[in-house]
């Protein structure tokens, strides 16, 4: 019996079957051509489309802020220059959350320079160190031995600053990295003011300039730092919380007065 399908029709039917996936005439096992594989086949990405993974940037050098602070401090030839250099220093994150840069207060010619820890809320608002309750107590303490931040002559004057010029959030303790980067400014501050005596109020200022903590052990004992006699004392904020320690503070104030009288220039 002759076929009614010519060559071209038969070829077209075979091509259609190949397109539908019927590429084998007889198989040993039936195959489900519509079954999905359990794991999707991996699509090979052309090499040209593969983006190289960027190299991870090296961590910032922790010494860079300290080096920048040292350069800025060394370039200050006056207290006004130093104030401007500190206000322009952008490596300390505390500056971004502070309202003001708290530089200093009192008479720079004073024989006694007090170094506290960091500004609090009142200091941040007013831009001066020790103006809150602790500052009011500090004024009364030094007034008892004849010293005042309002004093006009070096003998009766007081000059006050802090280790940090910006308030830490929630009045937390300054971090070691923050102390390290601001220390060049503090040392330059002392060098420009040229006091006869340094008074370090509290643990943070002792940690910064003496490399020691433990104010209960340190207070009342003369030591040396930055080529000057130094006396650590309880911070006035501590005295407000522990009034019984005011007796020790009075003892330390008398030590300062005796040292000033002994070394009074003739």
Q: How many CA atoms lie within 13 A of 249 on its CB side?
A: 22
Examine residue 32 and state whether it is found in any structural domain, yes or no. Answer: no
Name the domain count of the chain.
1
- Give the C-alpha separation, 192 to 82, whole Å: 9
pLDDT in tens, 190-233: 999 999 999 999 999 999 999 999 999 999 999 999 999 999 99
What lies within 8 Å, CB to CB, of 188 at 6+ separation is 73, 74, 76, 82
Examine residue 182 and state whether it is found in any structural domain, yes or no. Answer: yes
Q: 105 pairs with which residues across the strands? A: 160
pLDDT in tens, 84-115: 999 999 999 999 999 999 999 999 999 999 99
pLDDT confidence of residue 32: 67
What lies within 8 Å, CB to CB, of 89 at 6+ separation is 68, 69, 72, 95, 185
- Give the C-alpha separation, 255 to 54, whole Å: 63
- For 58, phi then psi, to 5°, come to -65, 150
Examine residue 35 and state whether it is found in any structural domain, yes or no. Answer: no
Give the domain extent around 110. Answer: 63-262
Examine residue 233 and state whether it is found in any structural domain, yes or no. Answer: yes
Examine residue 58 and state whether it is found in any structural domain, yes or no. Answer: no
Low-confidence ranges of the chain (pLDDT < 70): 1-4, 16, 18-51, 53, 55, 57-60, 62, 265-266
Examine residue 199 and state whether it is found in any structural domain, yes or no. Answer: yes
pLDDT confidence of residue 63: 79
Name the CA dihedral angle for 248, 252, 253, 255, rounded to a multiple of 10 degrees: 140
Reported pTM: 0.77
Q: CATH number of the domain at 153, please.
A: 3.40.470.10
pLDDT confidence of residue 5: 73
């Amino acid at each position: 019996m002759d076929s009614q399908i010519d060559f071209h029709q038969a070829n077209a039917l075979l091509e259609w079957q190949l397109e539908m996936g019927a590429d084998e005439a007889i198989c040993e096992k039936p195959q489900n051509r519509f079954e999905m594989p359990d794991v999707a086949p991996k699509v090979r990405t052309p090499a040209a489309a593969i983006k190289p993974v960027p190299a991870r940037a090296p961590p910032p050098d922790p010494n860079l802020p300290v080096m920048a602070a040292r350069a800025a401090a060394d370039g200050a030839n006056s207290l006004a220059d130093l104030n401007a250099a500190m206000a322009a220093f952008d490596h300390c994150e505390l500056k971004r959350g502070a309202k003001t840069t708290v530089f200093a207060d009192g008479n720079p010619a004073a024989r006694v320079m007090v170094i506290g820890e960091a500004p609090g809320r009142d200091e941040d608002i007013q831009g001066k160190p020790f103006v809150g309750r602790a500052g009011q107590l500090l004024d009364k303490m030094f007034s008892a031995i004849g010293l005042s931040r309002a004093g006009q002559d070096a003998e009766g004057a007081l000059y006050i600053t802090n280790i940090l010029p910006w308030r830490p959030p929630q009045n937390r303790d300054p971090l070691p990295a923050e102390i390290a980067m601001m220390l060049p400014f503090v040392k330059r501050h002392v060098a420009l003011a040229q006091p006869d005596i340094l008074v370090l109020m509290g643990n943070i200022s002792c940690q910064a300039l003496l490399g020691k903590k433990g104010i209960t052990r340190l207070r009342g004992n003369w030591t040396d730092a930055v080529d000057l006699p130094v006396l650590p004392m309880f911070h006035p904020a501590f005295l407000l919380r522990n009034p019984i320690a005011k007796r020790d503070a009075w003892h330390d104030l008398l030590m300062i007065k005796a040292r000033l009288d002994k070394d009074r220039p003739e």
